Amino acid sequence: MPPLALRTLQVTRVHGASRALADDELVVEEPLAIRVDGETLAVTMRTPGNDRELALGFLFAEGVIASIDDVSAIAHCGRTGDEGRGNTLEVTPSPGARLRLPEAAMHRGTLTTSACGVCGRRSIDDLLARCGPVKSVGEPAPGVLRAALDALRETQRLFARTGGCHGAALVTFGGEHVATFEDVGRHNAVDKLVGSRLLARGLPLDRHVLAVSGRTSFEIVQKAAVAGIPVVAGISAASSLAVEVARRAGITLVGFARGDSCVVYAGDERLRLEER
């Protein structure tokens, strides 16, 4: 199991009128530049660790690569020991691969992503044209939402230590935990998760549930749609655009999933309630 990306700093703890110095563990946040064939395509702030999965999931969500077969190598740039070596990742396309680089990135050198807040109905139309409606194989078992949120809570090692990062967990329709990834950015956590399934050649995820911490916004549902995930459950609310994407893409979107209660924003016909 890889070491956690933690940094210990001295802080002042205040209790009423008293204060005391103490050491506190913080989650690490650093930039990652993703380069494709020598050109910087995007820079994202992330928690170091699982950078390969993050880059692959990001490129897949943005439609740059269609599968792991489009990539021949992926590695950090620079020499071992160089300062900042771990913050640049070079993705080498496979011979003959035709990467789908967005026109904006080709002109500006950086990609405006779905996580940047530049989105709307045209983005939804483009998304649906690229991946089509999401369909599931079978149906979720009763209690699978509880299992997904329990798995997320129980496997967030960084959050347990710092309280300062997001998580994304994947479980099967039967409630079996597949993987959990954490990051300071909720969209990065999902990219790491999807990237890990790309490496395992496990796509599409048409019999899985994605559980996410915090609110569920457009980019989370967009990434789920591209990966073919039919059910997305968050512990907080969903945004209006996330609901619109879910309804048009055929995704079951659940918010405020806690215990045996939740709010179903889209696709309630896919869910079977727990028997009492």
pLDDT in tens, 57-102: 999 999 999 999 999 999 998 766 666 678 999 999 999 998 887 6
pLDDT at 109 over 50: no
- Does residue 253 form part of some domain? yes
Q: Which of 193, 188, 196, 192 is nearest to 214 (CA)?
A: 188
Residue 4 CB coordination number (10 Å): 17
CA-CA-CA-CA torsion for 80, 84, 88, 92, nearest 10 degrees?
-20
pLDDT of 87: 93
- Does residue 17 form part of some domain? no
Decide: pTM greater than 0.85.
Answer: yes
Domain shared by 255 and 151, yes or no = yes
- Does residue 1 form part of some domain? no
- Residue 108 structural domain: 31-116
Please identify, among 101, 116, 131, the residue that sits at the C-terminal boundary of a domain. Answer: 116
- pLDDT level of residue 145 (50, 70, 90 thresholds): very high
- pLDDT level of residue 193 (50, 70, 90 thresholds): very high
- pLDDT level of residue 129 (50, 70, 90 thresholds): confident
Structure tokens at 85: 């070596």
CATH number of the domain within which 54 lies = 3.10.20.10
pLDDT at 13 over 90: yes
**Which residues, including other chains, have CB under 8 Å from residue 232's CB and lie 6 or more apart?**
209, 210, 212, 216, 220, 221, 224, 246, 251, 252, 253, 254
pLDDT of 125: 78
Instruction: List the catalytic residue out of 77, 116, 131, 262.
Output: 116
If one counts the domains in the chain, the total is 2
Length of the chain: 276
Q: Please report which helix (H) or strand (E) contains residue 82, including its range.
A: none
pLDDT at 148 over 90: yes
Domain shared by 81 and 153, yes or no = no
Domain shared by 92 and 171, yes or no = no
Report the phi/psi class of residue 175: left, alpha or beta, with left for phi > 0 and alpha for psi in -120 to 50.
left
**Residue type, position 148, single letter:** A
pLDDT of 126: 78
- Does residue 206 form part of some domain? yes
Whether 262 sits among the annotated catalytic residues: the reply is no
Domain shared by 169 and 103, yes or no = no
Structure tokens at 45: 């702030």
CATH number of the domain within which 218 lies = 3.40.140.10
pLDDT at 114 over 50: no
Domain shared by 104 and 196, yes or no = no
- Does residue 151 form part of some domain? yes
pLDDT tens, 194-215?
999 999 999 999 999 999 998 9
Domain shared by 183 and 258, yes or no = yes
